Every structure is written in structure tokens, then in C-alpha cells.
Structure 1
């Protein structure tokens, strides 16, 4: 699968551009702040129906304007599809495939998968459990539409239950029948989510471990531990007994929305004991496993987006990653780098052809093998 053409209108810092891409390696180069990452984000939008960096759609409109649109032609297994996203302030975001609008955005997720590696991925390691849940949920949602539906419904009932808990505290009256209705749904959907997460992490970890060993030359042992109270035999009983506490807290304090994934190196928390290089390697291996598990499930290679990936990796780990590109492990790839010569040198050393796009304040010039094309 690959993108043949991408068109942006009033998206972030781009007024209006249309770009044609190579099926293989596309390098977006230019100083920081010129809009390299915004092109990757537009591709992410068309895959996952949202920005990777700013979830507020109105803040992705070019300054001073009121509407943006993104459109691309995807080629997958010999079939072409036009995917478009449009948003106007004060209206609902619209997504279309071949000019037919989706009734629900969730219907689109997983059709044109991408894997993005970006500097803010370090939050998966450094921040709290919510970030890690979102990270792994994003992978599962691209893999499994039923999981996505269960997660959406679970979160809907969770919001409704939390809203009811706040109302009961305010009024001083508890509607137990309503609470039990929410509880039955949360327990049922929560159990399905827990079981799918447990099944997923076993297969995913084996892929992750292999990629980490390749990138690090087997220098460290790493582990991912999925932690959930939902797996306890007494969970349902404890959940029901917890209502008094939930009323006091005005929120649901037990369930899969509290799950965590413990990231470990040499038996210790990666967050505290991993070096910058080890943390970056861990993240790259997480994304490589993401790529491989999607490829195995879908039967084709997702698009790989590498945003500023060469920073914080030593030369050996960079070359290991680029060798995977040379071995055609991946399909279409997008690489951003503020240091054009560094990228050219790395690709040249391994004899990898690439198309370069020189970006300067929303203006893009295409150059193949360093020679500018008009």
C-alpha cells in the first residue's frame, strides 16, 4: 500500500499544495519549524481520522482561515482509492472514501494503516498509564474493529456512570437501578477488552523482543508486563462492593480504564533506569513490532512515518534501522530530517534510492538523488 498523491488546503502552515510521492522512500528535509512534520500528520489524519499531535481539529486550520481539507490517492493491491477529510469551524468533521461519506469515523480506521515514530513517543515511557493504554489501544484499533467498537462503548458507559455519580453526590439520592445498568455493560465490555489485550500482548511482545535484540545487538533484556485488576477472580465482586468509594470519589475507580503496561529493562523500570539511547531503541522496537503485526494481519505493509528518527540514536542503531529499509522490510516510507546531508549520507552508504522534498515555510521543492526537479 502507498500514497500516490497528497493535497492540502489550509492545513496547518500550508495554504494549498499537491505532492506526488515515490512508492518507496520519501525524505522531507528543511530546518525545524518549516512544516516537515505537518505533512506526516496529514497522512496520519487520513489513516486514523485525527492528528497525531493536536486532537483539537479547529487548531489544525491555517491561521486566519476557517476550514481545512486533506485529500490523498491511495494505491492498495492494485486498487486506487481517494480518501478525503474536511473540517469547518462549527461543523462536524467529514470523512469520505471515493466521495462517499462515512456514517461513523470508526468505520475508516484500519483500512489504510500507518505507523508513526515521532519525538513525542517518549511520553509512552515517561508519562502515566493513560498514555501507554492509548498507545497499545491505537494498535489494537487498527487491527480489530470489534475491539474498537467495544472500547468506544465501554468509554461511553464509563462517562455516563461517572456523570451519574457526580449527579448523585449533588442531589444526595442514588438511582441504584441506573448504576446497575451501567455496571452490567462496563463489566461485559471490560471483560472483552481485557481478554483481547491479554491475547494481543503475548504475540506483540515476541515481535518487539526480536526487534529490540536486532537494534541493540542483544545488549539488554527487556520486558513488557500487562497489568490489569480485571483478571482477578474476585474483580466483579470487588467492583460491586466499590460503589460507596466511587460515590465519594465521583468517578469509577476500578476497570480496564486503569490498566497499565510496565516497560522494563534488565528487570527495572525503563523510565528510571534506561538511558536516552535505550529508551529510544525501546520505542523504535515498539513501533517495528506494531508495523509487523499490522502487516501480518492485513496482508500488506502499512505506511511508515519516521519523524526526526535519527536524533538520539547512535550510529550503529541508525544503520540497523536503515538496513531494514534496504532489505525492503518496509513498503512506502516518509523520513523527516533537519540535516539533509546526514540523511543523504546514510541512504547513500546502503545504496538506497530516495526522493527528497526540500521544505521552507510551507513551500515544497522536489529533488531526486539531490538534483532539484522543476
Structure 2
């Protein structure tokens, strides 16, 4: 027993060392801390300011300040952030501040507000005419709060999205060795995410609700969907459009979850890459259990399962990754969407709005939205 336990420990450490090595190669600076969200008064010509709303199960560092730790809050916290994106912004990138925050060259927080859930709903809905569409981003493993907040800002800007962005931030340790703790914290956050989705869905001022979840955030999202279904909240469930990017979910567990959840309209979209190195590490950590986000869609069994579950499983391996792990390809989708729209490429082609397994072609594809079903793809297999 001791020998077996020792081997398991060695495998775990080996996996983390591989992951840490790849991450270190892709990192170009020290990871940002809460200091990057310090309010900066300066505004510069050409900078774009975006308001991002946040609902989080992270604990506040102190009092009512919007500094969120990796600790778990007993009740969700809510806030809004006004974020300035610099004139020199390059699509797909977050320009982090170096020694000092300079809105001329880096992302900068120029305003923030503490909110209640009701206050968040009021601000998201606004005072104008018409219903407001929203997109909720649920981050993955090994994310800090500033990283998740600025990532959603970058996607909003690069995709020129009309949806109001809402971050759901769960208490990730933001550490390579925090995988197990992150999984537990994601599970801890199920009730809070379910409650947020219900509050938005039952507000008559809110229009479409798109849920976009990455990696371990996909696990959290599917668990919340399962909870909505089991509790009979179909009125909420039926308001949602769900996209899972590189979901870190065991294949068998996902099949069991989908048996409870059932088909969605529009179909749930799953973005996969069979060469996702982060999910290969997750596979090893879980004793060779295959992950949904790394499925090979040329496998006839995968295609058949997608049709049976009425899923849109889309291989995005041709999209450029920037993290060295092929785990963050979803970031580029927003840019591709904006570029295609600017080129007049939104006309629906033989786009596949149904279910099944597809290959995404970055050259000829038409994208209806990076947060909805990919409009045009080439059938796999």
C-alpha cells in the first residue's frame, strides 16, 4: 500500500512539474496580483473603457474593498469594474502593467463599485429601452481574480461584443499545485452560480443569457445546469445558451451529467482540441480518465455520442494558441469573429446549426458569434 501511494504521489508531482515547466515557458512576466486593479485616475485619448460586472465566491481581503482572495466567501460578493484598454492593444493579448500602471500602454482599472446582487441586476439591465443581452464568463483552473477579469475585458474588446460582460469568479488558488483545491472550490461554487443564473433568467429586463466556461469552469457550469434541472427550474434552464471551451470533465462523468440535463436548445457547444496539453496532464492526474475537452472528433464513437446527446462538438485545433499548452484557443475566437464581421463574413453559409461533431476551419469559416454555436464548419470523420 505504501509503495502504491508513493507511486501515485510521484505521478502527481511529475504531472505538476510538466505543467509548471510549460507554463513557465509561456509566461513573459510575473503573475499579476491585486495591485494591478488599483484605481488609476488618468484617462488617455484612444483608450477604450469597458464595464465588467463580477459575481464571486471569493472572499474579500477586508471590509468592502474589491480585493478578492483565494479564500471562500460564505455568501457571494458582487462588484463592477471600469477597465481602460490601451490604444496600443493587440488582439488576443492582455497588456499588463510593468512597474507602474500606465493607461497609455497597459490595462488599467479606472473605477470600481461594490454591489449587491440586486444592484448588479439593476446596473446590467440599465435604464434604456429593450432587453439587455449578457455573457457570463466562468474561468478555469489556476486563475487569479485580476487574470479572469482582464481576460473577459480583452474578449469583450477584441470581439466587439454587444453583450454585457459578467465574470463569475470562483476561488481558484492561482497556483499550478492547486489543482485538487481548485476542483473543490469550483464544486463549492455550484449553488452561487445556479443562483446567479436564476436571478438573471427571471429578470424581465435581461435578454439572451450566454454562459461561456473554460476548462474547470466547464465542470462548474455543467454541475450548475444539472442542479437547475434536478430542482425543476426549467424556466431558467431554457433561457441559457452554453459554450464549454476545453472543458476539464471526465468523459463518463459528463455522460452521466448529460443524462440528467438532457438536450438543450440551442444545443450545448463544446470546443475541443485533441492536442490540449493541459488536459493531458489532467488526464494523468485522474489516472488516465479521458477529458471531454480533448476528444478526437474523427472517432465515429464521438460523433455518434454527440448526435445522441444533441451536442455541437467542434474541434478548434486550427486556432492559434498562446499559452504553450494549446489550452487557451478560445481567446482567439473573439478576434476571428471581429475580423470576419469586418470583412462582411456574417452571411450564413452551409453553417451547421444542428448537432454532431465538426472541424472548425479558421480560413473559410463564418462565425455567428464566439459565444454561440459556430456557424460554419466542415463535418469531421
TM-score, normalised by the number of residues in structure 2? 0.28
Q: Which has the larger radius of gyration?
A: 1
Q: Which has the higher contact order (CA 8 A, sep 6+)?
A: 1
